[in-house]
Structure 1
Amino acid sequence: MKAQLVEKDPETAIVLFWKAINAGDRVDSALKDMAVVMKQLNRTEEAIEAIKSFRGLCSKQAQEPLDNVLIDLYKKCGRMDQQIDLLKQKLRLIYQGEAFNGKPTKTARSHGKKFQVSIKQETSRILGNLGWAYMQKSKFMAAEVVYKKAQMIDPDANKACNLARCLIKQARNVEAHLVLNEVLQGKLLGSEDCQTQNRAQELMLELEPKWLPPPETVKITGFDLEDDFIDELEKLLNEWSPLRTKRLPIFEEISSYRNQLLS
Protein backbone atom coordinates (compact mmCIF):
# COMPACT_ATOMS: atom_id res chain seq x y z
CA MET A 1 0.00 0.00 0.00
CA LYS A 2 2.80 2.42 0.92
CA ALA A 3 4.63 1.74 -2.35
CA GLN A 4 1.44 2.31 -4.35
CA LEU A 5 0.78 5.61 -2.58
CA VAL A 6 4.33 6.83 -3.16
CA GLU A 7 4.02 6.00 -6.85
CA LYS A 8 0.56 7.51 -7.38
CA ASP A 9 0.67 10.52 -5.04
CA PRO A 10 4.15 11.22 -3.65
CA GLU A 11 3.15 14.59 -2.19
CA THR A 12 0.45 12.97 -0.07
CA ALA A 13 2.92 10.25 0.90
CA ILE A 14 5.29 12.92 2.24
CA VAL A 15 2.49 14.40 4.37
CA LEU A 16 1.78 10.96 5.84
CA PHE A 17 5.48 10.35 6.47
CA TRP A 18 5.63 13.64 8.38
CA LYS A 19 2.64 12.60 10.48
CA ALA A 20 4.31 9.28 11.30
CA ILE A 21 7.55 11.02 12.30
CA ASN A 22 5.75 13.52 14.53
CA ALA A 23 3.74 10.71 16.13
CA GLY A 24 6.85 8.61 16.70
CA ASP A 25 5.42 5.85 14.51
CA ARG A 26 8.12 3.77 12.78
CA VAL A 27 10.35 6.81 12.53
CA ASP A 28 13.30 4.83 11.12
CA SER A 29 11.54 3.86 7.92
CA ALA A 30 9.34 6.97 7.71
CA LEU A 31 12.28 9.38 7.71
CA LYS A 32 14.35 7.38 5.24
CA ASP A 33 11.45 6.76 2.86
CA MET A 34 10.33 10.38 3.03
CA ALA A 35 13.83 11.60 2.14
CA VAL A 36 13.94 9.24 -0.84
CA VAL A 37 10.58 10.51 -2.10
CA MET A 38 11.68 14.11 -1.61
CA LYS A 39 14.77 13.38 -3.68
CA GLN A 40 12.58 12.05 -6.48
CA LEU A 41 10.57 15.29 -6.36
CA ASN A 42 13.75 17.41 -6.46
CA ARG A 43 13.17 18.59 -2.89
CA THR A 44 16.74 17.64 -2.09
CA GLU A 45 17.66 20.41 0.32
CA GLU A 46 14.46 19.82 2.29
CA ALA A 47 15.28 16.12 2.52
CA ILE A 48 18.77 16.89 3.83
CA GLU A 49 17.43 19.16 6.54
CA ALA A 50 14.78 16.60 7.51
CA ILE A 51 17.39 13.88 8.04
CA LYS A 52 19.67 16.19 10.00
CA SER A 53 16.82 17.42 12.19
CA PHE A 54 15.10 14.12 12.97
CA ARG A 55 17.73 11.39 12.76
CA GLY A 56 18.16 11.72 16.52
CA LEU A 57 14.74 10.10 16.88
CA CYS A 58 15.92 7.03 14.96
CA SER A 59 17.57 3.87 16.24
CA LYS A 60 21.29 3.17 16.03
CA GLN A 61 20.62 0.60 13.31
CA ALA A 62 18.94 3.27 11.16
CA GLN A 63 21.92 5.63 11.13
CA GLU A 64 23.91 3.86 8.42
CA PRO A 65 20.98 3.70 5.94
CA LEU A 66 20.29 7.38 6.65
CA ASP A 67 23.93 8.19 5.92
CA ASN A 68 23.64 6.39 2.59
CA VAL A 69 20.56 8.43 1.67
CA LEU A 70 22.31 11.61 2.78
CA ILE A 71 25.31 10.83 0.58
CA ASP A 72 23.01 10.44 -2.43
CA LEU A 73 21.30 13.73 -1.58
CA TYR A 74 24.62 15.57 -1.29
CA LYS A 75 25.66 14.10 -4.62
CA LYS A 76 22.45 15.18 -6.35
CA CYS A 77 22.63 18.79 -5.18
CA GLY A 78 26.37 19.14 -5.76
CA ARG A 79 27.43 19.48 -2.13
CA MET A 80 30.70 17.67 -2.72
CA ASP A 81 32.49 18.80 0.44
CA GLN A 82 29.72 17.43 2.66
CA GLN A 83 29.63 14.22 0.63
CA ILE A 84 33.39 13.79 1.02
CA ASP A 85 33.23 14.41 4.77
CA LEU A 86 30.47 11.84 5.23
CA LEU A 87 32.24 9.24 3.09
CA LYS A 88 35.40 9.69 5.17
CA GLN A 89 33.33 9.32 8.32
CA LYS A 90 31.98 6.01 7.02
CA LEU A 91 35.52 4.87 6.25
CA ARG A 92 36.58 5.73 9.80
CA LEU A 93 33.77 3.57 11.18
CA ILE A 94 34.98 0.66 9.06
CA TYR A 95 38.58 1.34 10.07
CA GLN A 96 37.61 1.27 13.74
CA GLY A 97 35.61 -1.94 13.37
CA GLU A 98 32.30 -0.23 14.11
CA ALA A 99 30.55 -0.64 10.75
CA PHE A 100 27.96 -3.39 10.24
CA ASN A 101 27.58 -3.45 14.05
CA GLY A 102 30.95 -5.19 14.21
CA LYS A 103 29.92 -8.00 11.85
CA PRO A 104 31.92 -8.99 8.72
CA THR A 105 28.86 -8.78 6.44
CA LYS A 106 25.48 -7.11 6.26
CA THR A 107 22.26 -7.82 4.39
CA ALA A 108 21.46 -5.31 1.66
CA ARG A 109 18.49 -5.01 -0.66
CA SER A 110 18.34 -4.02 -4.32
CA HIS A 111 15.33 -4.23 -6.64
CA GLY A 112 13.47 -6.23 -4.02
CA LYS A 113 16.21 -8.85 -3.62
CA LYS A 114 18.35 -9.40 -0.54
CA PHE A 115 22.07 -10.14 -0.73
CA GLN A 116 25.12 -10.14 1.51
CA VAL A 117 27.71 -7.35 1.38
CA SER A 118 31.15 -7.87 2.92
CA ILE A 119 33.28 -5.26 4.66
CA LYS A 120 35.69 -5.42 1.73
CA GLN A 121 32.95 -4.75 -0.79
CA GLU A 122 31.56 -1.89 1.27
CA THR A 123 35.00 -0.33 1.70
CA SER A 124 35.64 -0.50 -2.03
CA ARG A 125 32.21 0.99 -2.78
CA ILE A 126 32.78 3.91 -0.42
CA LEU A 127 36.25 4.53 -1.81
CA GLY A 128 34.77 4.52 -5.31
CA ASN A 129 32.21 7.13 -4.28
CA LEU A 130 34.95 9.18 -2.65
CA GLY A 131 37.02 9.01 -5.82
CA TRP A 132 34.05 10.22 -7.86
CA ALA A 133 33.53 13.15 -5.47
CA TYR A 134 37.18 14.15 -5.78
CA MET A 135 36.85 14.00 -9.56
CA GLN A 136 33.96 16.47 -9.42
CA LYS A 137 36.28 18.85 -7.57
CA SER A 138 39.02 18.26 -10.19
CA LYS A 139 41.27 16.72 -7.53
CA PHE A 140 42.48 14.03 -9.88
CA MET A 141 45.58 12.96 -7.95
CA ALA A 142 43.51 12.37 -4.82
CA ALA A 143 40.87 10.55 -6.88
CA GLU A 144 43.55 8.37 -8.46
CA VAL A 145 44.90 7.28 -5.07
CA VAL A 146 41.42 6.45 -3.81
CA TYR A 147 40.42 4.51 -6.92
CA LYS A 148 43.62 2.48 -6.82
CA LYS A 149 42.94 1.55 -3.22
CA ALA A 150 39.40 0.57 -4.15
CA GLN A 151 40.67 -1.58 -7.01
CA MET A 152 43.10 -3.35 -4.70
CA ILE A 153 40.22 -4.34 -2.46
CA ASP A 154 37.40 -5.25 -4.86
CA PRO A 155 38.26 -4.44 -8.48
CA ASP A 156 35.61 -3.79 -11.12
CA ALA A 157 35.37 -2.30 -14.59
CA ASN A 158 33.42 0.82 -13.65
CA LYS A 159 36.02 2.01 -11.16
CA ALA A 160 38.73 1.13 -13.68
CA CYS A 161 37.16 3.50 -16.20
CA ASN A 162 37.06 6.25 -13.59
CA LEU A 163 40.69 5.57 -12.73
CA ALA A 164 41.60 5.83 -16.41
CA ARG A 165 39.82 9.19 -16.58
CA CYS A 166 41.89 10.43 -13.62
CA LEU A 167 45.09 9.32 -15.33
CA ILE A 168 44.10 10.97 -18.61
CA LYS A 169 43.43 14.23 -16.79
CA GLN A 170 47.00 14.05 -15.47
CA ALA A 171 48.43 13.22 -18.93
CA ARG A 172 49.36 9.76 -17.60
CA ASN A 173 48.27 8.27 -20.90
CA VAL A 174 50.37 5.10 -20.95
CA GLU A 175 48.97 4.03 -17.58
CA ALA A 176 45.43 4.92 -18.66
CA HIS A 177 45.86 2.77 -21.76
CA LEU A 178 46.88 -0.23 -19.64
CA VAL A 179 43.90 0.22 -17.31
CA LEU A 180 41.42 0.46 -20.19
CA ASN A 181 42.89 -2.63 -21.84
CA GLU A 182 41.96 -4.65 -18.77
CA VAL A 183 38.34 -3.58 -19.19
CA LEU A 184 38.22 -4.15 -22.94
CA GLN A 185 39.81 -7.59 -22.55
CA GLY A 186 37.18 -8.59 -19.99
CA LYS A 187 39.59 -9.06 -17.10
CA LEU A 188 37.52 -7.18 -14.51
CA LEU A 189 34.14 -7.76 -12.92
CA GLY A 190 31.49 -5.93 -14.92
CA SER A 191 33.58 -5.78 -18.09
CA GLU A 192 30.82 -7.55 -20.00
CA ASP A 193 28.37 -4.70 -19.37
CA CYS A 194 27.61 -2.94 -22.66
CA GLN A 195 27.61 0.56 -21.18
CA THR A 196 30.95 -0.05 -19.46
CA GLN A 197 32.45 -1.44 -22.65
CA ASN A 198 31.20 1.56 -24.62
CA ARG A 199 32.63 3.94 -22.05
CA ALA A 200 36.01 2.20 -22.11
CA GLN A 201 36.04 2.36 -25.91
CA GLU A 202 35.19 6.07 -25.85
CA LEU A 203 38.00 6.75 -23.40
CA MET A 204 40.38 4.73 -25.56
CA LEU A 205 39.37 6.69 -28.67
CA GLU A 206 39.94 9.91 -26.76
CA LEU A 207 43.30 8.62 -25.65
CA GLU A 208 44.74 7.07 -28.80
CA PRO A 209 45.71 10.26 -30.68
CA LYS A 210 47.81 11.35 -27.71
CA TRP A 211 48.50 8.26 -25.65
CA LEU A 212 52.27 8.39 -26.15
CA PRO A 213 53.49 11.44 -24.20
CA PRO A 214 56.92 13.02 -24.67
CA PRO A 215 59.62 10.48 -23.69
CA GLU A 216 60.83 12.47 -20.69
CA THR A 217 57.40 12.26 -19.03
CA VAL A 218 56.88 8.51 -19.47
CA LYS A 219 57.39 6.39 -16.36
CA ILE A 220 56.59 2.76 -17.03
CA THR A 221 57.05 1.66 -13.42
CA GLY A 222 55.70 3.30 -10.31
CA PHE A 223 54.25 6.75 -9.98
CA ASP A 224 55.52 10.23 -10.56
CA LEU A 225 55.65 11.13 -6.89
CA GLU A 226 55.90 14.89 -6.87
CA ASP A 227 55.94 16.58 -3.47
CA ASP A 228 52.34 17.71 -3.92
CA PHE A 229 51.26 14.15 -4.62
CA ILE A 230 52.96 12.84 -1.48
CA ASP A 231 51.46 15.64 0.59
CA GLU A 232 47.97 14.86 -0.71
CA LEU A 233 48.42 11.16 -0.01
CA GLU A 234 49.66 11.82 3.51
CA LYS A 235 46.76 14.17 4.14
CA LEU A 236 44.25 11.52 3.10
CA LEU A 237 45.86 8.84 5.21
CA ASN A 238 46.06 11.13 8.23
CA GLU A 239 42.39 12.04 7.90
CA TRP A 240 41.50 8.35 7.86
CA SER A 241 43.65 7.46 10.87
CA PRO A 242 41.59 5.83 13.64
CA LEU A 243 40.89 7.37 17.00
CA ARG A 244 41.76 4.01 18.49
CA THR A 245 43.93 1.15 17.32
CA LYS A 246 41.38 -1.54 16.42
CA ARG A 247 42.10 -2.29 12.76
CA LEU A 248 40.49 -4.58 10.26
CA PRO A 249 42.64 -6.65 7.87
CA ILE A 250 41.55 -4.63 4.87
CA PHE A 251 43.25 -1.52 6.22
CA GLU A 252 46.46 -3.44 6.68
CA GLU A 253 46.29 -3.98 2.91
CA ILE A 254 45.79 -0.25 2.36
CA SER A 255 48.75 0.55 4.61
CA SER A 256 50.86 -1.92 2.64
CA TYR A 257 49.86 -0.18 -0.58
CA ARG A 258 50.80 3.17 0.92
CA ASN A 259 54.26 1.83 1.79
CA GLN A 260 54.73 0.69 -1.80
CA LEU A 261 53.86 4.16 -3.07
CA LEU A 262 56.24 5.94 -0.73
CA SER A 263 59.16 3.52 -1.04
Structure 2
Amino acid sequence: MEYWSSSSQESWGKKEKEVYHVIHKVPYGDGPYVKAKHAQLVHKDLEGAIVWFWKAINAGDRVESALKDMAVVMKQMDRTEEAIEAIKSFRIRCSKQSQESLDNVLIDLYKKCGKADEQIMLIKQKLRLIYQGEAFNGKPTKTARSHGKKFQVSVKQETSKLLGNLGWAYMQKASYIAAEVVYKKAQMIDPDATKACNLALCLIKQARYDEAHLVLEEVLKGKLPGSYNNKSQTRAQELLLDLESRQPLLLPPPEVMGLNLDQDFVDGLERLMHEWAPSRSKRLPIFEEISPFRDQLAC
Protein backbone atom coordinates (compact mmCIF):
# COMPACT_ATOMS: atom_id res chain seq x y z
CA MET A 1 0.00 0.00 0.00
CA GLU A 2 1.31 3.45 -0.95
CA TYR A 3 1.29 6.16 1.71
CA TRP A 4 1.54 9.88 0.98
CA SER A 5 3.24 12.27 3.32
CA SER A 6 1.28 15.26 4.58
CA SER A 7 3.44 17.57 2.43
CA SER A 8 2.65 15.51 -0.69
CA GLN A 9 -1.07 15.65 0.10
CA GLU A 10 -0.88 19.41 0.57
CA SER A 11 0.98 19.79 -2.70
CA TRP A 12 -1.60 17.67 -4.54
CA GLY A 13 -4.46 19.59 -2.95
CA LYS A 14 -2.90 22.87 -4.02
CA LYS A 15 -2.49 21.68 -7.62
CA GLU A 16 -6.07 20.42 -7.65
CA LYS A 17 -7.32 23.84 -6.54
CA GLU A 18 -5.22 25.58 -9.22
CA VAL A 19 -6.65 23.31 -11.92
CA TYR A 20 -10.16 23.99 -10.61
CA HIS A 21 -9.68 27.75 -10.83
CA VAL A 22 -8.17 27.53 -14.32
CA ILE A 23 -10.98 25.31 -15.64
CA HIS A 24 -13.80 27.40 -14.21
CA LYS A 25 -11.99 30.76 -14.65
CA VAL A 26 -12.85 31.86 -11.12
CA PRO A 27 -10.58 33.97 -8.88
CA TYR A 28 -9.03 32.83 -5.61
CA GLY A 29 -10.37 33.87 -2.21
CA ASP A 30 -13.57 33.69 -0.20
CA GLY A 31 -14.92 37.26 -0.40
CA PRO A 32 -18.34 38.19 -1.85
CA TYR A 33 -16.90 38.86 -5.32
CA VAL A 34 -15.35 35.39 -5.50
CA LYS A 35 -18.62 33.86 -4.27
CA ALA A 36 -20.47 35.80 -6.99
CA LYS A 37 -18.14 34.42 -9.68
CA HIS A 38 -18.61 30.88 -8.32
CA ALA A 39 -22.38 31.31 -8.48
CA GLN A 40 -22.14 32.72 -12.02
CA LEU A 41 -19.57 30.41 -13.61
CA VAL A 42 -19.61 27.18 -11.59
CA HIS A 43 -23.17 26.81 -10.30
CA LYS A 44 -24.81 28.79 -13.17
CA ASP A 45 -26.98 30.50 -10.55
CA LEU A 46 -27.41 33.94 -12.09
CA GLU A 47 -29.88 35.22 -9.49
CA GLY A 48 -27.53 34.15 -6.71
CA ALA A 49 -24.59 35.76 -8.54
CA ILE A 50 -26.39 39.11 -8.66
CA VAL A 51 -27.04 38.94 -4.90
CA TRP A 52 -23.34 38.34 -4.24
CA PHE A 53 -22.25 41.02 -6.73
CA TRP A 54 -24.40 43.53 -4.82
CA LYS A 55 -22.77 42.39 -1.58
CA ALA A 56 -19.33 42.84 -3.15
CA ILE A 57 -20.17 46.38 -4.31
CA ASN A 58 -21.53 47.37 -0.91
CA ALA A 59 -18.53 45.82 0.86
CA GLY A 60 -16.04 47.55 -1.44
CA ASP A 61 -14.76 44.19 -2.72
CA ARG A 62 -13.43 44.62 -6.30
CA VAL A 63 -16.18 47.13 -7.01
CA GLU A 64 -15.20 47.80 -10.63
CA SER A 65 -15.18 44.14 -11.61
CA ALA A 66 -18.32 43.38 -9.58
CA LEU A 67 -20.24 46.23 -11.23
CA LYS A 68 -19.25 45.26 -14.77
CA ASP A 69 -19.79 41.54 -14.21
CA MET A 70 -23.17 42.16 -12.60
CA ALA A 71 -24.24 44.28 -15.58
CA VAL A 72 -23.29 41.42 -17.93
CA VAL A 73 -25.33 38.93 -15.90
CA MET A 74 -28.31 41.31 -15.76
CA LYS A 75 -28.13 41.71 -19.53
CA GLN A 76 -28.27 37.92 -19.90
CA MET A 77 -31.43 37.95 -17.78
CA ASP A 78 -33.05 40.78 -19.78
CA ARG A 79 -32.69 43.16 -16.82
CA THR A 80 -30.93 45.71 -18.99
CA GLU A 81 -32.61 48.81 -17.55
CA GLU A 82 -31.61 47.71 -14.05
CA ALA A 83 -28.02 47.20 -15.19
CA ILE A 84 -27.91 50.70 -16.69
CA GLU A 85 -29.13 52.27 -13.45
CA ALA A 86 -26.63 50.24 -11.42
CA ILE A 87 -23.68 51.48 -13.47
CA LYS A 88 -24.90 55.09 -13.37
CA SER A 89 -25.38 54.95 -9.60
CA PHE A 90 -22.20 53.17 -8.54
CA ARG A 91 -19.57 54.15 -11.12
CA ILE A 92 -18.57 56.99 -8.80
CA ARG A 93 -17.02 54.34 -6.54
CA CYS A 94 -14.75 53.17 -9.35
CA SER A 95 -11.34 54.49 -10.37
CA LYS A 96 -10.81 57.01 -13.14
CA GLN A 97 -9.02 54.34 -15.19
CA SER A 98 -12.13 52.11 -15.15
CA GLN A 99 -14.56 54.74 -16.47
CA GLU A 100 -13.75 54.03 -20.10
CA SER A 101 -14.56 50.33 -19.80
CA LEU A 102 -17.76 51.17 -17.89
CA ASP A 103 -18.77 53.43 -20.79
CA ASN A 104 -18.25 50.50 -23.16
CA VAL A 105 -20.57 48.36 -21.03
CA LEU A 106 -23.16 51.16 -21.03
CA ILE A 107 -23.00 51.52 -24.82
CA ASP A 108 -23.65 47.79 -25.16
CA LEU A 109 -26.58 48.00 -22.72
CA TYR A 110 -28.09 50.99 -24.54
CA LYS A 111 -27.83 49.05 -27.80
CA LYS A 112 -29.49 46.01 -26.22
CA CYS A 113 -32.56 47.94 -25.06
CA GLY A 114 -32.85 50.23 -28.10
CA LYS A 115 -31.85 53.51 -26.44
CA ALA A 116 -30.33 54.99 -29.60
CA ASP A 117 -30.22 58.60 -28.40
CA GLU A 118 -28.35 57.69 -25.20
CA GLN A 119 -26.02 55.48 -27.20
CA ILE A 120 -25.25 58.29 -29.67
CA MET A 121 -24.59 60.78 -26.87
CA LEU A 122 -22.16 58.47 -25.06
CA ILE A 123 -20.31 57.48 -28.24
CA LYS A 124 -19.83 61.14 -29.13
CA GLN A 125 -18.50 61.77 -25.65
CA LYS A 126 -15.92 58.99 -26.12
CA LEU A 127 -14.98 60.33 -29.56
CA ARG A 128 -14.44 63.78 -28.05
CA LEU A 129 -11.88 62.28 -25.67
CA ILE A 130 -10.05 60.81 -28.66
CA TYR A 131 -10.14 64.10 -30.56
CA GLN A 132 -8.69 65.81 -27.52
CA GLY A 133 -5.96 63.22 -27.08
CA GLU A 134 -7.30 62.15 -23.68
CA ALA A 135 -8.40 58.59 -24.48
CA PHE A 136 -6.33 55.59 -23.31
CA ASN A 137 -4.78 57.90 -20.69
CA GLY A 138 -2.82 59.55 -23.50
CA LYS A 139 -1.29 56.26 -24.72
CA PRO A 140 -1.48 55.01 -28.34
CA THR A 141 -2.82 51.58 -27.29
CA LYS A 142 -4.70 49.92 -24.46
CA THR A 143 -5.03 46.35 -23.22
CA ALA A 144 -8.47 44.83 -23.80
CA ARG A 145 -9.89 41.44 -22.87
CA SER A 146 -12.26 39.17 -24.78
CA HIS A 147 -13.25 35.61 -23.84
CA GLY A 148 -10.51 35.55 -21.21
CA LYS A 149 -7.73 36.60 -23.62
CA LYS A 150 -5.83 39.89 -23.51
CA PHE A 151 -4.92 41.85 -26.64
CA GLN A 152 -3.82 45.34 -27.64
CA VAL A 153 -6.23 47.86 -29.19
CA SER A 154 -4.91 50.96 -30.95
CA VAL A 155 -6.53 54.40 -30.96
CA LYS A 156 -7.11 53.89 -34.68
CA GLN A 157 -9.02 50.65 -34.11
CA GLU A 158 -11.03 52.15 -31.24
CA THR A 159 -12.00 55.18 -33.33
CA SER A 160 -13.22 52.99 -36.18
CA LYS A 161 -15.15 50.76 -33.78
CA LEU A 162 -16.86 53.75 -32.14
CA LEU A 163 -17.77 55.23 -35.51
CA GLY A 164 -19.20 51.84 -36.52
CA ASN A 165 -21.32 51.79 -33.35
CA LEU A 166 -22.42 55.36 -34.04
CA GLY A 167 -23.43 54.42 -37.57
CA TRP A 168 -25.57 51.55 -36.27
CA ALA A 169 -27.25 53.85 -33.73
CA TYR A 170 -28.11 56.29 -36.54
CA MET A 171 -29.53 53.35 -38.50
CA GLN A 172 -31.91 52.60 -35.63
CA LYS A 173 -33.19 56.17 -35.91
CA ALA A 174 -33.58 55.83 -39.73
CA SER A 175 -30.98 58.61 -40.16
CA TYR A 176 -29.49 56.79 -43.11
CA ILE A 177 -27.40 59.55 -44.65
CA ALA A 178 -25.82 60.31 -41.28
CA ALA A 179 -25.13 56.58 -40.85
CA GLU A 180 -23.61 56.39 -44.33
CA VAL A 181 -21.17 59.23 -43.68
CA VAL A 182 -20.10 57.70 -40.36
CA TYR A 183 -19.64 54.21 -41.82
CA LYS A 184 -17.54 55.59 -44.67
CA LYS A 185 -15.41 57.48 -42.18
CA ALA A 186 -14.92 54.30 -40.14
CA GLN A 187 -13.91 52.35 -43.25
CA MET A 188 -11.34 55.00 -44.16
CA ILE A 189 -9.70 54.54 -40.76
CA ASP A 190 -9.85 50.76 -40.26
CA PRO A 191 -11.93 48.85 -42.84
CA ASP A 192 -13.58 45.50 -42.20
CA ALA A 193 -16.32 43.29 -43.63
CA THR A 194 -18.83 43.86 -40.80
CA LYS A 195 -18.94 47.63 -41.26
CA ALA A 196 -19.02 47.13 -45.05
CA CYS A 197 -22.19 45.03 -44.73
CA ASN A 198 -23.75 47.69 -42.51
CA LEU A 199 -22.83 50.36 -45.05
CA ALA A 200 -24.41 48.27 -47.82
CA LEU A 201 -27.62 47.95 -45.78
CA CYS A 202 -27.58 51.70 -45.26
CA LEU A 203 -27.30 52.27 -49.03
CA ILE A 204 -30.09 49.75 -49.70
CA LYS A 205 -32.34 51.71 -47.32
CA GLN A 206 -31.66 54.75 -49.51
CA ALA A 207 -32.48 52.78 -52.69
CA ARG A 208 -28.89 53.23 -53.92
CA TYR A 209 -28.63 49.68 -55.14
CA ASP A 210 -25.66 49.96 -57.51
CA GLU A 211 -23.48 51.45 -54.77
CA ALA A 212 -24.62 48.81 -52.28
CA HIS A 213 -23.79 46.08 -54.80
CA LEU A 214 -20.22 47.37 -55.19
CA VAL A 215 -19.71 47.35 -51.41
CA LEU A 216 -21.03 43.80 -51.07
CA GLU A 217 -18.84 42.62 -53.93
CA GLU A 218 -15.78 43.73 -51.94
CA VAL A 219 -16.83 41.44 -49.09
CA LEU A 220 -17.78 38.49 -51.30
CA LYS A 221 -14.48 38.72 -53.19
CA GLY A 222 -12.49 38.81 -49.95
CA LYS A 223 -11.09 42.30 -50.39
CA LEU A 224 -11.67 43.43 -46.79
CA PRO A 225 -10.38 42.16 -43.44
CA GLY A 226 -12.83 39.61 -42.05
CA SER A 227 -14.31 38.88 -45.48
CA TYR A 228 -13.63 35.16 -45.20
CA ASN A 229 -15.46 34.88 -41.91
CA ASN A 230 -18.49 32.64 -42.46
CA LYS A 231 -20.79 35.10 -40.71
CA SER A 232 -19.65 37.97 -42.96
CA GLN A 233 -20.01 35.89 -46.11
CA THR A 234 -23.50 34.72 -45.13
CA ARG A 235 -24.66 38.24 -44.29
CA ALA A 236 -23.24 39.68 -47.52
CA GLN A 237 -25.02 36.99 -49.55
CA GLU A 238 -28.31 37.64 -47.73
CA LEU A 239 -28.03 41.38 -48.37
CA LEU A 240 -27.22 40.73 -52.03
CA LEU A 241 -30.34 38.56 -52.40
CA ASP A 242 -32.42 41.27 -50.72
CA LEU A 243 -30.91 43.90 -53.00
CA GLU A 244 -31.61 41.87 -56.15
CA SER A 245 -35.24 41.35 -55.11
CA ARG A 246 -35.93 45.08 -54.97
CA GLN A 247 -37.09 47.24 -57.84
CA PRO A 248 -35.13 50.45 -58.46
CA LEU A 249 -36.87 53.60 -57.26
CA LEU A 250 -36.72 56.98 -58.96
CA LEU A 251 -36.36 58.82 -55.64
CA PRO A 252 -34.93 57.83 -52.26
CA PRO A 253 -37.43 57.11 -49.47
CA PRO A 254 -38.71 60.29 -47.75
CA GLU A 255 -36.87 59.67 -44.49
CA VAL A 256 -33.44 60.05 -46.14
CA MET A 257 -34.14 63.29 -47.99
CA GLY A 258 -32.82 65.40 -45.12
CA LEU A 259 -29.44 65.18 -43.42
CA ASN A 260 -29.45 65.54 -39.66
CA LEU A 261 -25.87 65.53 -38.45
CA ASP A 262 -26.28 67.36 -35.13
CA GLN A 263 -24.78 70.66 -36.21
CA ASP A 264 -23.84 71.65 -32.68
CA PHE A 265 -21.48 68.69 -32.43
CA VAL A 266 -19.95 69.39 -35.84
CA ASP A 267 -19.42 73.03 -34.82
CA GLY A 268 -17.81 71.89 -31.59
CA LEU A 269 -15.47 69.64 -33.54
CA GLU A 270 -14.51 72.56 -35.76
CA ARG A 271 -13.64 74.64 -32.70
CA LEU A 272 -11.48 71.80 -31.44
CA MET A 273 -9.68 71.70 -34.78
CA HIS A 274 -8.85 75.39 -34.43
CA GLU A 275 -7.67 74.84 -30.86
CA TRP A 276 -5.34 72.09 -32.01
CA ALA A 277 -3.80 74.19 -34.75
CA PRO A 278 -1.23 76.12 -32.61
CA SER A 279 -0.05 73.01 -30.75
CA ARG A 280 -0.13 69.60 -32.36
CA SER A 281 1.10 67.77 -29.27
CA LYS A 282 -2.33 66.42 -28.39
CA ARG A 283 -3.41 65.68 -31.92
CA LEU A 284 -3.11 61.98 -32.54
CA PRO A 285 -1.68 60.82 -35.90
CA ILE A 286 -4.91 59.20 -37.07
CA PHE A 287 -6.66 62.56 -37.12
CA GLU A 288 -3.98 63.92 -39.42
CA GLU A 289 -5.20 61.28 -41.86
CA ILE A 290 -8.92 61.97 -41.58
CA SER A 291 -8.95 65.75 -41.00
CA PRO A 292 -9.46 66.56 -44.73
CA PHE A 293 -12.85 64.85 -44.40
CA ARG A 294 -13.94 66.56 -41.18
CA ASP A 295 -16.60 68.68 -42.91
CA GLN A 296 -18.48 65.45 -43.61
CA LEU A 297 -18.16 64.09 -40.09
CA ALA A 298 -21.54 63.00 -38.84
CA CYS A 299 -20.82 62.66 -35.18
Q: TM-score, normalised by structure 2?
A: 0.77
Q: 1:166 to 1:38 in 2, by over 3 A?
A: same
Q: Distance in 2 between matches of 1:92 and 1:209?
A: 41
- Contact 1:134 1:143 (C-alpha < 8 Å) held by counterparts: yes
Match of 2:261 among 206, 212, 232: 232
Give the 3-state SS of the residue equivalent to 1:106 in structure 2: strand
Trace 1:208-219 onto structure 2 (pairs within 5 A). 208-210=244-246
Q: Distance in 1 between matches of 2:267 and 2:283?
A: 15
Equivalent residue number for residue 47 of structure 1: 83
Trace 1:83-162 onto structure 2 (pairs within 5 A). 83-162=119-198
Q: Distance in 2 between matches of 1:187 and 1:239?
A: 36
Give the 3-state SS of the residue equivalent to 2:261 in structure 1: helix
Q: Distance in 2 between matches of 1:126 and 1:152?
A: 13
Q: 1:253 to 1:123 in 2, by over 3 A?
A: same
Q: Distance in 2 between matches of 1:18 and 1:160?
A: 41
Alignment size in residue pairs: 251
Equivalent residue number for residue 73 of structure 2: 37
Q: Distance in 1 between matches of 2:271 and 2:67?
A: 30
Q: Distance in 2 between matches of 1:46 and 1:161?
A: 32
- Contact 2:207 2:248 (C-alpha < 8 Å) held by counterparts: no
* Structure 1 residues not aligned, in runs of 5+: 218-225
Letter in 2 for 1:250: I
Equivalent residue number for residue 17 of structure 1: 53
% same residue: 71
Question: What is the deviation of 1:10?
Answer: 1.6
Q: Distance in 1 between matches of 2:295 and 2:113?
A: 37
Q: Distance in 2 between matches of 1:157 and 1:6?
A: 34
Rg (Cα) greater in structure: 2
Q: 1:241 to 1:51 in 2, by over 3 A?
A: farther
Equivalent residue number for residue 292 of structure 2: 256
Deviations 1:53-85 (A, max 9, x none): 111010011101111111111111111111111
Q: Which has the higher contact order (CA 8 A, sep 6+)?
A: 1
Q: Distance in 2 between matches of 1:15 and 1:242?
A: 47
Equivalent residue number for residue 5 of structure 1: 39
Equivalent residue number for residue 201 of structure 1: 237
* Structure 2 residues not aligned, in runs of 5+: 1-25, 27-33, 277-281
Deviations 1:109-154 (A, max 9, x none): 1111111100000000011111111111111001001100000000
Q: Distance in 2 between matches of 1:129 and 1:186?
A: 23
Equivalent residue number for residue 22 of structure 2: none
- Contact 2:193 2:224 (C-alpha < 8 Å) held by counterparts: yes
Q: TM-score, normalised by structure 1?
A: 0.87
Question: What is the deviation of 1:206?
Answer: 1.9
Question: What is the deviation of 1:4?
Answer: 3.4
Structure 1 window deviating more from structure 2 (114-123 vs 192-201): it is 192-201
- Contact 1:96 1:242 (C-alpha < 8 Å) held by counterparts: no
